[in-house]
Structure formats: C-alpha cells, structure tokens
A = this chain, B = another copy of it.
Amino acid sequence: MPDWLQHRAHALPGATAAVLADGTVLTYAELDARVAGLAAVLETRGIAAGHHVALLALNSLEFVEAVHAVTRLDAVLVPLNARLTPAELAYQLENCRARLLLTHAPTAALAREAAASTETPIFELGGETTGPGGTQPGRSVRTHDPAAPHSIIYTSGTTGRPKGAILTYENFAASAAASAYNMGVLPGDRWLACMPLFHVGGLSIVLRSAIYGTAVVIHPAFDEHAVNRALRDEGVSLLSVVPTMLQRMLDAGALPYPPSVRGVLVGGGPVTRDLLARALERGLPVLQTYGLSEAASQVTTLSPGDALTHTGSAGKPLLCTRLRIDAPAGEPGEILVSGVTVTAGYLGNPEATARALRDGWLHTGDIGRLDPEGFLYVLDRRDDLIVTGGENVYPAEVEGHLLQHPAVEAAAVVGIPDARWGQAVAAALVLRTPSEDPAATFDAYLRERIAPYKLPRRYLVTGSLPATASGKIQRHIVRTLFT
C-alpha cells in the first residue's frame, strides 16, 4: 500500500489537493511538502512507527496536514471529538496512551485542559512546516503495511466508556474503492467536507481524496449558504451531510443545482419522501447511506435511481461488504456486516471486540430489515442511539451521569424528533427530592460532565418509568411521554 499523499504528489504534483473556505488552494506537491515538513518535526518530537498520535482540531488545513503527517511516519492517528469535555477527552488520551496530542489555536485551550491530567505532551499545529523533505519526483514512494492500523476512532456504546475502533489502511482503501464504484470518481472531483473531520465520515473524505487524487474542499462548519455557493459556483461535485443539513440547504435558496453536483451522500438517518422530492426537483442526486465507524463509514448506499421507489431505505451493500439480518428472512433483526472494510477490533478491549465480532460478522447493534429485493431499512439505531445534528449520543451515558446525581432515582434518556437537528435529547426522571426547575438543575450539573451536544433539551419529571417485567426501561414508551 503506497503512501497515498506521496503517490499523488509524485503522479499529480500540480493537481488540486485541498481547497479551503478562504479560497486557499493547495496542489498535491504543496500539500506534500507541508506534510513532509510536519512529519520531520513530529519525528524530532519522538514520534515513530506504531505510536498513537491524538488530534484535537476543527476542520482546517492543519487537520488535513496532521492526518497525512501521522500517516507518513507509520504512526496511528487518533482523531478526537472537539465537542467533548476535557474529562471525556482525557479518558480517550489515557485509554489510547497517546504519545502526543496535536492541536491548533482554536482548540488549544481545550487540549491543555484535557491533557493536564494525563500529562500528554501537546504540539500546536499551524506554524510554517514546509521543509526540504517534499517528495522527490521519480523517487520511490513509501509503502505501508495494508494490515497496519491507520487510525483509532472512538465510538460510544450502551454500556461503559467509549471504545477505540482500530481501522487499517486496507479498511480505508477498500471503502474508498467501493464508494468510487457506487458514486463514481472523476479526476476533477471536489468533495466538500462540512461535517467534522474527526468523525469517520469526514476523515474518509480526506483519505479518499488522496487515494483518488482528487480535491477535498473544507468548510470550518456547516453553513447552508456557503455550501450552496460551493455547489453552485465552486465546482464541488460530491458532498456529505445529514438530513437536517440537506433541509437547510434547500430552505436557504430556490435556485437549481448544476449537473456538476454528482452526489449528495446523506447519512445519520432516513430522508423523508418530501425532502427527497424537493432535493431531486432542484437537481440534487441524493444518496442515502448507512454506515458506522467500525466499518470505515459507508456500508450501504441507496442510489438516486432507487430513491423514490424505496423511500426510507439506506440501499444495498457496497462492493466488498456483506450484510445479514440476524432474523428470519424479511423480519427485523440486528444488522450484521462483514468484509474488508470492517474493523479488526477495539483497542485494548478484547471483551468488547469479542462481543462485536463473532464468526466474522460485525454485530452493529442496529436493527434493520431487508425487503425482498435486498434493500436495507434501518429501523432503530443501535441501543437506542440518538443522532442529533450528525453527532451520536448514547442514552446510557447520559443516564449514567444523571443517576449519579443525589436527587435522581431513575432516568431514561431518549431521542425525540427535532426539525432542526433530526433528533433532540430528552430526559424523563423519577426524583427522590422534588426539584423546582429540573432543567436548570440538571443542565448545570451535566454541563460539567458531558459535551454540550449530549445535554437533554427537554426534561420531564414522572412518578415512574415504563419498564418491562424484567425491569428494562421501555424507551419507545418513554418517547411518547414527550409528545
């Protein structure tokens, strides 16, 4: 497996590698020279093959450079979610035994807080790093072991702490190829990343662009007007969003999109028939997708041609991915995934790995069914996962913190429909001591412990929570309490 960036700098030195929102454009030769410089600096900081290097940064050129520089050294990238609290970040730094924490100005204060308890050294990106180490034309390109870990991506679950899913070079390369055959790839492609690069979906855009030799366009955050401009005037051909973003893009203007927009990959939940029809009417080819960190992002994708006849489906598996429902044919059951894009396991967590990977199949915890034609319908995200604005929130984690509050006797956290964010977090509580303003009380309490996007937007105090005979909270009934 060649060093993707180095190969591209050699084969396509003058091709566009990255475009920033401020108009900065970097060619592959330029990006490679910067990355070679940064890699040399990181090497002097002691980073070597196999070391875990954490990255806490917002969408930026520094993020992209860090990804490739860590790769260049055969070190392992651990992208951290910049929306987490210092304590949450510290857990991940500690868990992966990060040798170094890379950050940049906007996240430097958070990085210092997070690294204080773990004593992880910090390196601030953003200085001039172009060194003499750029790829020499005609020289051999470095190679990496395809089975070596490229990244560790933390993902939460029902119980316990976040787990670091190990993704190899081969996981990402196979995913890139399968995605290319699904959406197409052209040498002039520009793929816009307006969702966080620290999630697998965003990171995949950065890596795939280098694998394909195409350009990644980076927006600091999602802004519907900026995205519309990029699609209409700036040659962006591919885009990844969640349904609420698609809605906001369509609401923000009435102009049609040009045919140069080849695909809008929509993950994180189903697109309604109405939204789909509006998008198609305006010339946006919507590709609904189901994916997860443990499978290096995309697992299934619904092509635009099937979208209206299979509304709500996430499509069929990409090449190199197999899909099975753990239930009789046509019945709902757990979604199982296998193939070369699937993680080898969780870092230092053989129990979780053994639970997730059984007989060669990744047990996603998500519930779905296959229709007679083989289209996947995702019915329930794993373990009542809440997806809000593209971020995953696990009820168990929020409940765990609430239950530690002395006033709380029982807690149930659910996702409820939200026009802007797709879902909003909501908490139903049984209290030991009455509270005058539960929202204020528990909001202040949780803010110190969990990331803002995980905070319940609504609270409800009740006498008891609906539970099964065995005592398991019936979340689907809890949800009805909020309607």
Chain B binder among A180-188, A197-205, A347-355: A180-188
Q: Contacts A181-B213, A212-B181 known; A1 to B141 CB distance under 8 Å?
A: no
The answer to whether B184 touches A137, judged by C-beta atoms less than 8 angstroms apart, is: no
Whether a CB of chain B sits under 8 angstroms from the CB of A435 is no
Whether a CB of chain B sits under 8 angstroms from the CB of A312 is no
Whether a CB of chain B sits under 8 angstroms from the CB of A10 is yes
User: What's the least CB distance linking A55 to chain B, in Å?
Assistant: 25
The answer to whether A316 touches B10, judged by C-beta atoms less than 8 angstroms apart, is: yes
The answer to whether B187 touches A303, judged by C-beta atoms less than 8 angstroms apart, is: yes
> How far does the alpha carbon of A339 sit from the alpha carbon of B339 in the complex, in Å?
22
Residues of A1-26 whose CB lies within 8 A of B: 1-2, 4, 7, 10-11, 13
Whether a CB of chain B sits under 8 angstroms from the CB of A177 is yes
Whether a CB of chain B sits under 8 angstroms from the CB of A324 is yes
The answer to whether B322 touches A373, judged by C-beta atoms less than 8 angstroms apart, is: no
The answer to whether A322 touches B2, judged by C-beta atoms less than 8 angstroms apart, is: yes
> How far does the alpha carbon of A302 sit from the alpha carbon of B157 in the complex, in Å?
48
Please tell me the number of chain A residues within 8 Å of chain B, measured between CB atoms.
Answer: 43
The answer to whether A373 touches B137, judged by C-beta atoms less than 8 angstroms apart, is: yes
The answer to whether B138 touches A1, judged by C-beta atoms less than 8 angstroms apart, is: no
> How far does the alpha carbon of A98 sit from the alpha carbon of B143 in the complex, in Å?
38
Whether a CB of chain B sits under 8 angstroms from the CB of A319 is yes
User: What's the least CB distance linking A340 to chain B, in Å?
Assistant: 8
CB-CB < 8 A to A184: which residues of B? Answer: 184-187
Residues of A122-174 whose CB lies within 8 A of B: 137-141, 143, 173
Question: Which of B10, B177, B180 contacts A374, CB < 8 Å?
Answer: B10
CB-CB < 8 A to A370: which residues of B? Answer: 138
Residues of A430-465 whose CB lies within 8 A of B: none
The answer to whether A186 touches B187, judged by C-beta atoms less than 8 angstroms apart, is: no
Q: Contacts A180-B180, A316-B10, A316-B11 known; A140 to B322 CB distance under 8 Å?
A: yes
Which positions in A face B, CB cutoff 8 Å?
1-2, 4, 7, 10-11, 13, 137-141, 143, 173, 176-177, 180-187, 211-213, 303, 316-320, 322, 324, 329, 339-340, 370-374
